[in-house]
Structure 1
């Protein structure tokens, strides 16, 4: 499974509607509204890299209210359980 983090700049005044439309997009696992440099963050989970292009440029970029996107591909996932297990190896 490939995970992409998509940072989305949305049109002002349309953030809730845009977030819901992005969340309803096939391949999008989660959408967060947030404070900071971007309006929304979408988590995309797909089986291969070609699907990332389809989801981001073919679907998310075409959602009404999406002004711009920046996509980051995740290499490895870490959780607090993974970090704690790594520290306990030497004990």
Structure 2
């Protein structure tokens, strides 16, 4: 599993539309609108690095209104949510 945080700047006046479109893209699990240097933060979860690369360089570049991205590829995931998921399936 590959996880990444994708920082996104959108064209002026298009943040909400870009966020809604990104949320529909397979491989994107969440999209947050933010204030500060970036307009949006998308969380990507893919089965392998090749799928992540296609998502970032192929699919995201086709979303109208995306001006620029910066991808932070996760090395390790530290999440209480993941622990709760494990316990809910009986592991």
Return the TM-score normalized by structure 2: 0.84
- Unpaired stretches in structure 2, ≥5 consecutive residues: 82-91
Deviation at 1:78, TM superposition (A): 1.6
Aligned length: 81
Aligned pairs for 1:41-56 (under 5 A) are 41-56=41-56
- Unpaired stretches in structure 1, ≥5 consecutive residues: 82-91
Aligned pairs for 1:8-47 (under 5 A) are 8-47=8-47
- Of structures 1 and 2, the larger Rg is shown by 1
Deviation at 1:80, TM superposition (A): 5.6
- Over aligned residues, Cα RMSD in angstroms? 1.3
Displaced runs of 4+ in structure 1, greater than 6 A?
none
- Residue 57, structure 1, aligned to residue 57, structure 2: yes
